């Protein structure tokens, strides 16, 4: 939740950059990365903020598996695994000799602790649903873990790579929100809230000799103008998820930088609170979808650098179905629909987190709803407020957020307690079929049905797929162009 993981997707910076613009140049083994979003916690197993994974998953924390830029699952803390013929039992062989950053040993007991913690009734894991198929987690010995599922899960190994499934130790888990301890190639060094977070190389990592970077610093800059100024001053080496699409031509023309436009798993939606009037009425939701103009939103908010979506699935995915024509923009028709539903002239509020794609989209949608007879108020809020009031308490009418987790159509099967307020047994049954279907072709057909169902119900206003706009200095190599997952591995990044 930028950005919101698992919905997702993801703090306006009030710090001036003047004091840093004259700082000494970074060493060749140092890397400074710009990020839009500062999280309120550093524990991906307890907070949905996408930037936690973006900084720390696969870097500080590790999971049993990992994922490549092409989306392939590979070993991580598990060196290998075997799957039973019925697809329900996974036997993982763990990497030996691994230590946490506090010098405690990693073994199968940590895996059992991490999974039991995530699956506990009082768990605050933001993706608790990915553990739902698990029946038991057992350890025949300290280097082996056996996970038995109650139902097949086509996404199981992929889901285990996410930060939500990071293997944390009992000794340090309760402190990870501010001082994270993992097993990865980088160790947590410091966090200056509102400014930056620093990692240093873990010399005890199993492949430490392949890691060039000694120090990585993340600077939190949500303001587009400040981000551009910092890049131009060469105070930042790379800015994946660059917040100023209007500035891309300027960086493309500058030989100091490489500009890349890739894809993400981030569906940007105008979320409507389905648990409260008038959005518990499907006709009102359809009227909202008819009032919005995706092309106008993409041109105005993203300067044309985005692909429209008509449902909750990425256009680059193998099961994508183009449903953008289901609700053609028609202000007069939308106005009549609102009138028929008895809500014409109603005041509605759009609570918007502090990200340029969201704040710019909100201003355009406000005008489009006004054309359709709806008085929409835009309320800009800080990220911590958004997480607490919108995501946790469902205290909102509408909001705009990018859901950046992969394979997350299951959000709509999470029931009325999830911030959508959407509870539909028919869709939940469909998602159960999608999740347990092992055949790719059959699963893609079911995913198309899912897209059609969500679009027909107009659960949200589906806007565009968030692109991965990156500005990177030409002496930096190894950043992913596209983002199949929330994290960006830094072990392979080099500075020349």
User: What are 111-131's pLDDT values in tens digits?
Assistant: 999 999 999 999 999 999 899
- Rounded to 10°, the helix 331-340/356-371 angle is 70
Q: Is-contact 472 258, C-beta < 8 A? A: yes
Q: Running DSSP on this structure, what letter comes out for residue 165?
A: G
Which stretch of DSSP H or E encloses residue 89? strand 89-94
- DSSP conformation letters of 346-372: -EEEEEE-S-HHHHHHHHHHHHHHHHT
Q: Which CATH superfamily is 264-468 part of?
A: Dipeptide-binding Protein; Domain 3 (3.10.105.10)
Q: In this predicted model, what pLDDT tens digit does every residue of 214-256 receive, in sequence order? A: 999 999 998 999 999 999 999 999 999 999 999 999 999 999 9
HEC sequence for 267-291: EEEEEECCCCCCCCCHHHHHHHHHH
pTM for the predicted model, two decimal places: 0.86
Report how far residue 410's alpha carbon sits from residue 415's, in angstroms, rounded to the nearest whole number. Answer: 10
Which pLDDT score is estimated for 29? 83
Which pLDDT score is estimated for 306? 96
Q: Is-contact 472 238, C-beta < 8 A? A: yes
What is the arithmetic mean of pLDDT over 421-442? 96
Q: Is-contact 273 421, C-beta < 8 A? A: yes
Which pLDDT score is estimated for 17? 29
Number of H helices, E strands in the chain: 12, 19
Burial letters for 434-465: b for 16+ Cβ neighbours within 10 Å, e otherwise? bbbbeeeeebbebbbebbebbbebbbbbbbbb
The sign one gets for the Cα dihedral 273, 278, 282, 287 is negative
Q: Which CATH superfamily is 30-54+178-263+471-495 part of?
A: Periplasmic binding protein-like II (3.40.190.10)
Which pLDDT score is estimated for 28? 54
Match 């002496």 to its residue by tokens.
475
Q: Is-contact 463 310, C-beta < 8 A? A: no
Q: In this predicted model, what pLDDT tens digit does every residue of 131-173 receive, in sequence order? A: 999 999 999 999 999 999 999 999 999 999 999 999 999 999 9
What is the arithmetic mean of pLDDT over 393-420? 96
Which pLDDT score is estimated for 259? 97
Q: Cα-flanking dihedrals φ and ψ of residue 348, to 5°?
A: -130, 150
Where are the chain's structural domains?
30-54+178-263+471-495, 65-175, 264-468
* CA dist 496 → 28, 447, 492 (Å): 7, 44, 13
CATH (one of 3.40.50.150, 3.90.76.10, 2.30.29.30, 3.30.930.10) for 65-175: 3.90.76.10
The more confident residue out of 9 and 186 is 186
């Amino acid at each position: 939740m930028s950005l919101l993981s698992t919905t997702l997707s993801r703090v306006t910076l009030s710090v001036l950059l003047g004091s840093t613009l004259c700082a000494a140049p970074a060493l060749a083994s140092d890397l400074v990365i710009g990020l839009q979003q500062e999280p309120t916690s550093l524990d991906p197993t307890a907070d949905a903020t996408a930037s936690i994974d973006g900084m720390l998953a696969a870097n500080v924390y590790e999971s049993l598996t990992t994922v490549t830029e092409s989306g392939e699952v590979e070993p991580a803390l598990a060196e290998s695994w075997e799957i039973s013929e019925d697809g329900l039992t996974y036997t993982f062989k763990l990497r030996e000799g691994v230590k946490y950053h506090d010098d405690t040993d990693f073994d199968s007991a940590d895996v059992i602790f991490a999974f039991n913690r995530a699956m506990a009734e009082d768990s605050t894991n933001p993706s608790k649903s990915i553990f739902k198929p698990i029946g038991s987690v057992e350890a025949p010995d300290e280097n082996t873990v056996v996970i038995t599922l109650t139902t097949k899960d086509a996404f199981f190994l992929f889901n285990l790579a996410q930060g939500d499934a990071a293997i944390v130790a009992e000794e340090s888990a309760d402190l990870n929100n501010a001082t994270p301890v993992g097993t990865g190639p980088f160790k947590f060094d410091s966090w200056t809230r509102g400014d930056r977070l620093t990692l240093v190389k873990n010399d005890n990592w199993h492949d430490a000799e392949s890691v060039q970077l000694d120090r990585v610093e993340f600077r939190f800059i949500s303001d587009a103008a400040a981000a551009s100024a910092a890049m131009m001053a060469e105070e930042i080496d790379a800015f994946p998820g660059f917040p100023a699409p209007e500035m891309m031509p300027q960086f493309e023309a500058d030989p100091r930088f490489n500009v890349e436009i890739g894809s993400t798993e981030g569906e940007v939606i105008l979320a409507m609170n389905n648990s409260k009037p008038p959005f518990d009425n499907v006709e009102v939701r359809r009227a909202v979808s008819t009032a919005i103009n995706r092309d106008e939103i993409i041109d105005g908010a993203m300067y044309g650098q985005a692909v429209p979506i008509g449902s909750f699935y990425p256009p680059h995915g193998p099961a994508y179905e183009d449903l953008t024509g289901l609700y053609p923009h028609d202000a007069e028709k939308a106005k009549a629909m609102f009138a028929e539903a008895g809500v014409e002239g109603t005041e509605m509020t759009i609570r918007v987190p502090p990200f340029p794609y969201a704040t710019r989209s909100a201003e355009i949608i406000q005008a489009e709803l006004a054309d359709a007879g709806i008085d929409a108020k835009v309320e800009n809020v800080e990220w911590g407020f958004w997480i607490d009031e919108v995501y946790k308490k469902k205290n909102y009418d509408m909001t705009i957020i990018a859901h950046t987790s992969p394979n997350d159509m299951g959000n709509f099967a999470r029931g009325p307690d999830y911030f959508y307020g959407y509870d539909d047994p028919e869709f939940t049954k469909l998602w159960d079929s999608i999740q347990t279907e092992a055949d790719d072709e059959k699963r893609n057909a079911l995913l198309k049905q899912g897209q059609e169902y969500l679009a027909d119900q107009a659960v949200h206003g589906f806007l565009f797929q968030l692109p991965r706009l990156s500005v990177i200095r030409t002496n930096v190599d190894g950043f992913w162009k596209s983002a199949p997952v929330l994290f960006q591995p830094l072990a392979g990044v080099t500075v020349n």
